[in-house]
Each structure stands twice: as C-alpha cells, then as structure tokens.
Amino acid sequence: MAFITENCTFFELTDDMLAACQPFTCGNDDLDDFFANDATRYAHFLMGKTYCFRLNSDPTKIVCALTLSNDSIRIYDLPRSRRDYMKSLTHHEKPLRRYPGVLIGRLGVSSEFAGQGIGSEVLQFIKGWFFSSSNKTGCRFVIVDAVNDPEVIAFYEKNGFINLFSSEEQEFIYTGGKKSQPVELATRLMYYDLLEMRKKS
Ligand SMILES: CC(C)(COP(=O)(O)OP(=O)(O)OC[C@H]1O[C@@H](n2cnc3c(N)ncnc32)[C@H](O)[C@@H]1OP(=O)(O)O)[C@@H](O)C(=O)NCCC(=O)NCCS
C-alpha cells in the first residue's frame, strides 16, 4: 500500500479542477458521467461530497474519484437472523433502529491505473479517515451499494466488506421487490465494520 500515498494528492473535486484535468475514465460510463457532470451539483446541495487523488507528477491526471455521504443500515426490518447478528455487535442500553455509517456512493479508479492495488488503498484510506478520533460523528460502518458484478463484489470482499444479506432473494425483498417478481439486483449492499480497525491498531 503506497501508490496514492507516495504519488498523489487528495482534493475535493470542483468544477475548476474538472476543467483543468484530463477526462476521467474508469471504464464504467455511468460513473464517468457522474463524476464529469453531476458530482459537484451533489456537493452544492450537500447530498454527497466527491474527492479525488491527482497524480503529483501530472496534476491533470485524476487517478481515482470517490463520493461519500452519510448513511445508515436499517436494522429493524432485516431478516431475523441478520437482525440478531447486527444487534450482537453493539451495546443494548437503548435499541437503535439504524446503525450509523458512511456511504461510498461512487468509486472509480482511472482505467490507466486499474488492477494495481489503488482501489484497495483508497478503501483503506476511507476506513482510516472515518475510524479516526477526529471524526465528528459516530460512524460504525463503511457502506457500499456495490455494482452486482462478480469482480466488483470480489474486490470489496478482498477488502473486508461483507454482504448485508446472505441471499439476493432476501435483499430484493428488503429493497422493495415483490415475491412474485424475478429477482434482479443491480447492486449488492455491503458493509465494513470499522471496529475491525481497532483490532488492527
Ligand atoms: C472496481 C475498482 C474500483 C477496483 O479498483 P482497482 O484499483 O482496480 O482495485 P485493486 O487493484 O485494489 O484490486 C483489483 C481487484 O478488483 C477486481 N476488479 C474489479 N473490477 C476491475 C477492473 N475493472 N479492473 C481491474 N480489476 C478489477 C479484480 O478482480 C482484482 O482482483 P485481484 O486483486 O484478485 O486481481 C476499479 O476497477 C474501477 O474503478 N472499476 C470501474 C468502476 C466500478 O465498477 N466501481 C465500483 C463501483 S461500486
């Protein structure tokens, strides 16, 4: 783990920066379009903040872009066994209906730099940032709606993320699908428990 630490600088993505940088392409057209055209509007309305790592040797190159916002995991309507498991993760003085977290709404690594460990390094950066004692709010989980593609799911699993639901059928119903409909999920809800960071430190 070192490429972005040694070769990049972290910035909030702005319109001026987008105008000064080469187009960012991560291989997913929807994500590329979001970063180019929607990200700064999300920031303006405080709906999501987009950050990027730019290459020090050529600051017109965005190596990675990510969008973060506050989120939570709904506990009260999870399937019973999963709900019991989630409840076992914390104290019980007053049952919480939702557990706080930060959502990685978007994440893309430039195709030029893909497959070199940068995505994993960025996930490690996000974990450290929100586990930090200087974080202003309670934040127990890093949450992601991961693109439902085996390679992307494997990428998050490799980085310690767990599916909230053990089956796609359960998740389909939780997200509003009807039992009579065919199960189709564009994304899978996954989380990383930031208390894992305490075990490592
Ligand atoms: C998914 C993504 C962020 C991973 O970043 P990365 O820097 O390539 O990730 P790493 O090098 O740390 O890990 C690579 C692993 O991710 C997986 N992967 C998923 N998509 C990949 C892609 N397009 N290119 C290369 N690896 C990819 C590989 O299986 C690889 O597994 P391995 O380590 O067993 O070889 C990046 O490939 C990307 O931006 N993809 C397009 C956008 C996307 O799907 N974003 C996820 C939205 S939830």
Domains parsed from the chain with CATH numbers: 3-200 (3.40.630.30)
What gap in Å lies between CA 19 and CA 128, rounded to an integer?
30
Between vectors from CA 58 to CA 52 and to CA 59, what angle results, nearest 5°? 35
Residues of the chain short of pLDDT 70, as ranges, are 1
- Give the pLDDT of residue 1: 54
Q: What spacing in Å lies between the alpha carbon of 115 and ligand 1's midpoint?
A: 6
What are the distances in angstroms from CA 27 to CA 19, 30, 32, 174? 20, 9, 8, 30
Give the atom of ligand 1 at the shortest distance from the alpha carbon of 110.
Answer: 39
Q: Is 103 in the pocket of ligand 1 (CB under 6 A)?
A: no
Q: What spacing in Å lies between the alpha carbon of 120 and ligand 1's midpoint?
A: 8
What gap in Å lies between CA 99 and CA 141, rounded to an integer?
8
Q: Residue 24 has which token pair? A: 């960012």
Helix and strand numbers, DSSP H then E, in the chain: 9, 7
Nearest CA to ligand 1 atom 14: 115
Q: Residue 26 has which token pair? A: 């991560």
Give the atom of ligand 1 at the shortest distance from the alpha carbon of 159.
Answer: 12
**pLDDT tens per residue across span 107-162:** 999 999 999 999 999 999 999 999 999 999 999 999 999 999 999 999 999 999 99
Q: What spacing in Å lies between the alpha carbon of 119 and ligand 1's midpoint?
A: 6
Strands 141-147 and 98-109, bridge-based pairing = parallel
Q: Is 151 in the pocket of ligand 1 (CB under 6 A)?
A: yes
Q: What spacing in Å lies between the alpha carbon of 35 and ligand 1's midpoint?
A: 17
Q: Is the dihedral of CA 78, 173, 159, 104 positive or negative?
A: negative
Q: What spacing in Å lies between the alpha carbon of 111 and ligand 1's midpoint?
A: 9
What gap in Å lies between CA 26 and CA 36, rounded to an integer?
12
Of 53, 109, 153, best ligand 1 pocket probe by most atoms within 8 Å of the beta carbon: 109
Nearest CA to ligand 1 atom 1: 152
Nearest CA to ligand 1 atom 10: 117
- Give the pLDDT of residue 174: 86
What gap in Å lies between CA 144 and CA 153, rounded to an integer?
10
Q: Is 117 in the pocket of ligand 1 (CB under 6 A)?
A: yes
Sheet with 98-109, strands from edge to edge, namely 8-12, 49-55, 58-74, 98-109, 141-147, 187-193, 162-163
